[in-house]
Homo-oligomer: A and B are copies of this chain.
Amino acid sequence: MVEEIRLLKLGGSIVTDKGGGGGIDHARLAAIAREIAERGDAHLVIVHGAGSCGHPEAQEYRIQEGVDLQNRAGIAITHEAVAGLNRSVVAALRAEGVDAVGIHPLAACHADNGQLLSCEHQSIDQLVRLGITPVLHGDVVMDTSRGACIISGDQIIRYLAQALGAGRVGLATDVPGVLDRGAVVPVITREHVKRLSIGCSGNTDVTGGMKGKIEELLKLADSGIESHIFHVSHIADFLDGKEHGGTIVRR
């Protein structure tokens, strides 16, 4: 039997103090790592956002306006910021016994016009099937027409979910789900998304905040893969297939 692959996104705002000083939330990472470790071999791929590590650097060097000789220094500086966060996430998982390994999109992926075009997913697929948990992240990625661009964790989630044929896709965030006028929207489809008034994130986020996230997940829904957005406190529920009180994005 081929076990289904699960994808778990850890929002940038839950692994770092996004609004504030730019620190990594090591205590929360350890708690998340314990919940994942307790569930054993999970056939799990983890993707985390950049949060306060990487977004400020990407803004300072105007990566999203394209990269040339003038602002090329921003590539390595932005990448080092998010790669450092990735090492902390991997270290937290390994400390709890999860056989995790970091995979940097700058090395593995290529983009054009701000859209992720390719990713070395065959290696990721093999790692997962051996019981190893690859940990990817939002990153600066080389881009054929723009020089380089920022690829969000949400874009990576969508690409990998389709490339790996994922069975379950979950996005853990610092809110209980997608909110419309203060209430969790239990189900979102492309048909009724226009009726929702979803606010933009007030924090530094060069990748589009909640609206960008939902657009990626609707594309995923178009290809028949359901995704779940829930509060970080419900990661265990998501992994166990239980009710998480959040939002399901489906076709």
Contact = CB atoms under 8 A, between A and B. Distances in A.
Interface stretch (A68-76, A184-192, A226-234): A68-76
Contact of A110 (B72, B106, B122, B148): B122
Interface string A74-105: 01100110010000000000100001111111
Interface in A116-145: 118, 120, 122-123, 126-127, 130-132, 141-142, 144
B106 A101 contact: yes
Contact of A76 (B75, B76, B99, B107): B99
A126 B142 contact: yes
Contacts of A147: 126, 130
A32 interface: no
A67 interface: yes
Interface in A20-71: 67-69
A14 interface: no
- Which bucket holds chain A's interface residue count? 35 or more
Contacts of A126: 142, 144, 147-148
Contacts of A220: none
B103 A76 contact: no
Given A130-B147, A132-B76, A103 B106 contact: yes
Given A122-B142, A123-B141, A130-B68, A94 B76 contact: yes
A109 interface: yes
Instruction: Please name the 4 residue pairs, one residue from A and one from B, whose CB atoms are nearest each other, closest first.
Output: A123-B142, A107-B107, A107-B108, A76-B101
Given A72-B130, A76-B99, 19 more contacts: A67-B130, A75-B132, A76-B101, A83-B102, A101-B106, A103-B107, A104-B107, A106-B123, A107-B108, A107-B120, A108-B108, A109-B120, A110-B120, A110-B122, A118-B120, A120-B120, A123-B141, A126-B142, A130-B147
15 contacts: A72-B99, A72-B130, A72-B131, A75-B101, A75-B130, A75-B132, A76-B100, A76-B132, A80-B101, A101-B106, A103-B107, A104-B104, A110-B120, A120-B120, A126-B144
